Structure 1
Amino acid sequence: MKSLAFCLLFSLLHYQQPAYTIGEVMRKARQLSSDSTTVKITGYITKKLDNNKYLFEDRTAEIRIDIDPQYLQHPVSDKEAVVIKALVQYEVNKPITLKVNQPVVNE
């Protein structure tokens, strides 16, 4: 009984957030937005668009992301893959965007 409880506790402590592609996020945007799910995506920050807005892409698509400066602690190259964790922002008749809510890390 103790070993079962330990296994359950261990699995909760080491919960791995599922990884998504941008294409998957775009297809499931309505659900992910309403669930307030943080998505984890590996890709490349390819272009700075505005103040805190960037273009982010992976092998499936590209999307606009909003990164608060506190989460982008070092400059990144468009040649190095990064992992972002973000909230999906979905509104009808508007582009889907991601709002980064954890530090951007190199892969």
Structure 2
Amino acid sequence: MKKFLTLTTLLAISTSALAGFNGSNNEPAKAVNTIAQAKKAAENTPVTLTGNITRQIDSDEFLFKDATGEIKIDVEDHAWQNQNITPKDKITIYGKVDQDSQGPASIDVDRIQKR
């Protein structure tokens, strides 16, 4: 009887360890690669964009340009990774789309990589 209870308990525990959400939309969102795509993307869509910062708007906001357009980016201090970037430098930015109901989309930048 003890073996049966032990086996039943182990079976119940192992079954619950395998449980989890298995919805139809469990794929991670794919990163968009152009500004044109980013402007149409949903809030928090990952982005990987390559281009140039064209000018500074204020302390942490800049205009970023690629072959498909221009978009405002918001860059926190940690994203620079101690790199000095000029408008001539080709860079890749990694971040997420910020769809503002008050205006056009922008990008919240998590990391910048100089090319």
* Structure 1 residues 51-74: Cα deviation after superposition (integer angstroms, max 9, x where no partner): 101110011100100000111122
The answer to whether the 8 Å contact 2:32/2:45 transfers is no
Q: Which structure is higher in RCO with an 8 Å CA cutoff and minimum separation 6?
A: 1
Aligned length: 85
* The structure with more radius of gyration: 2
Q: 5+ residue gaps in structure 1?
A: 1-16
1:23 to 36, 58, 61: 36
Determine the C-alpha separation between the residues in 1 that align with 2:96 and 2:31.
Answer: 14
Q: 5+ residue gaps in structure 2?
A: 1-29
TM-score, normalised relative to structure 2 = 0.67
Determine the C-alpha separation between the residues in 1 that align with 2:55 and 2:49.
Answer: 17
Moved over 6 A (4+): none
Q: Quote the RMSD (CA, aligned, Å).
A: 1.5
Fraction of identical pairs, as percent = 28
Give the structure 1 partner of residue 55 of structure 2.
47
- Residue identity opposite 1:41 in structure 2: L
Give the alignment of 1:58-69 within 5 angstroms.
58-69=66-77
TM-score, normalised relative to structure 1 = 0.71
